[in-house]
């Protein structure tokens, strides 16, 4: 079991997802765990935390990430080649948990969870200090088999909505917990030059039924885009743009990622 302690930013020692959204717009970076290696991931977690991340998504690499674009797919390949496993990521989270006092979420495909065993997986998550799980290929209709073990361990299973969700949004939103991950555009993850207006409409639709925080992801790659999204969303998720830096700089990625993260955080502060 991880022991909560006074953290390096002086926050009180509670790690709850709602806390991430309580002090302004949340900056939510994503990195692929174990890319390029576990040690660098550990440094990145500290760097992102110090750069002002309000919640961090750690990807558990999967051999066939069908919702990812080429940038994150390549990161998954690098991490798996470097020998990353879910167990090494549990260890990593346990190690950093006491110092990094913001919510940490795992994002992964359902198969690594299913094969590990949903009860065992959620138990290990809770023990290492993970706060929630995002599973892009587990839609509302199929989530019960993971939701029950999540609830048993006090983990949030984050719901996703997409521009194609339309009249599904109401049902999904009413049954969501933690926050809602709004997929900004159709297609796979990756940086986009222009973001369409879908996300704004989705957030508005959610607002009609619940006041749960809405974080928008997919395609946000610049500080200007992040700021634009933060005008209507409660949180901004940045994945591929960070992972691209990790791919580009390898073990030397901590400084450039840190700088980029600070820019994003800066851009969405005071909105």
Partner 1 sequence: MGKGKFGIFGGQYVPETLMSAILELEQAYMYWSANQGFTDELNDLLARYAGRPSLLYFARKMTASLGGAKIYLKREDLNHTGSHKINNVLGQALLAKKMGKCRLIAETGAGQHGVAVATAAALMDMECEVYMGQEDMERQALNVYRMELLGAKVNPVTTGTATLKDAVNATMREWAGRMTDTHYCLGSVVGPHPFPTIVRDFQAVIGREIKEQIYAVEGRLPDTIIACVGGGSNAIGSFYEFIENESVELVGCEAAGKGVDTPENAATITNGSVGVFHGMKTYFCQDEFGQIAPVYSISAGLDYPGIGPEHASLFEQKRARYAPITDTEAVAAFEYLAKTEGIIPAIESAHAVAYALKYAPMLGRDKTIVVTLSGRGDKDVAAIARYKGVSVSE
H or E stretch covering 225: helix 223-230
How near is the Cβ of 96 to partner 1 at its closest, in Å? 21
194: which DSSP letter?
S
Rounded to whole angstroms, the Cα distance separating 131 from 125 reads 8
Q: Which stretch binds partner 1 (CB under 8 A): 25-33, 161-169, 238-246, 257-265?
A: 161-169
Find the binder of partner 1 among 53, 96, 138, 203 (CB under 8 A).
138
| Closest C-alpha among 116, 190, 121, 180 to residue 149 | 121
- Judged by CB under 8 A, does residue 82 bind partner 1? no
- Any contact of residue 20 with partner 1 (CB under 8 A)? no
Q: Minimum CB separation from partner 1 for residue 249, in Å?
A: 22
Cβ pair 190, 69 in contact under 8 A: yes
Shortest reach from residue 1's CB to partner 1, in Å: 24
d(CA 103, CA 64): 26
162 binds partner 1 (CB under 8 A): yes
* Calpha distance 47→107 (Å, rounded): 19
* Token pair listed for 98: 């006491």
62 contacts partner 1 (rule: CB under 8 A): yes
144 binds partner 1 (CB under 8 A): yes
Distance CA 107, CA 113 (A): 10
Min dist. Cβ of residue 150 to partner 1 (A): 16
Question: Could you give the string, one character per residue 243-262, with x where binding to partner 1 holds by CB under 8 A and - elsewhere?
Answer: --------------------
H-helix or E-strand containing 82?
Answer: none
As a residue count, the chain comes to: 271
Q: Site residues (CB under 8 A) for partner 1?
A: 62-64, 66-67, 69-70, 73, 77, 80, 85-86, 109-116, 136-142, 144, 160-166, 168, 172, 183, 186-188
């Amino acid at each position: 079991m991880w022991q909560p302690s006074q953290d390096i930013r002086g926050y009180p020692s509670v790690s709850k997802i709602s806390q991430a959204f309580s002090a302004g717009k949340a900056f939510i970076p994503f990195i692929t765990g174990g890319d390029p290696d576990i040690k660098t991931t550990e440094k990145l977690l500290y760097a992102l935390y110090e750069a002002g991340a309000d919640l961090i998504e750690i990807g558990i690499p999967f051999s066939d990430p069908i919702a990812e674009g080429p940038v994150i797919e390549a990161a998954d390949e690098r991490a798996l080649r470097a020998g990353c496993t879910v167990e090494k990521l549990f260890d990593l989270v346990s190690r950093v948990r006491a110092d990094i006092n913001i919510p940490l979420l795992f994002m992964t495909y359902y198969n690594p969870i299913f094969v590990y065993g949903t009860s065992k997986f959620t138990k290990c998550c809770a023990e290492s200090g993970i706060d929630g799980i995002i599973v892009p290929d587990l839609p509302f209709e199929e989530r019960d088999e993971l939701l029950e073990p999540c609830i048993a361990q006090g983990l949030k299973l984050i719901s996703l909505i997409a521009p194609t969700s339309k009249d599904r949004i109401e049902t999904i939103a009413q049954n969501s917990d933690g926050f809602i991950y709004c997929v900004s555009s159709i297609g796979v993850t990756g940086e986009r030059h222009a973001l369409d207006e879908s996300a704004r409409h989705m957030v508005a639709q959610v607002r009609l039924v619940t006041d749960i925080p809405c974080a928008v992801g997919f395609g946000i790659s610049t500080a200007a885009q992040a700021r634009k999204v933060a005008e209507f969303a409660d949180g901004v998720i940045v994945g591929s743009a960070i992972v691209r830096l990790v791919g580009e700089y390898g073990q030397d990625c901590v400084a450039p990622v840190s700088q980029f993260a600070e820019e994003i955080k800066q851009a969405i502060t005071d909105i």
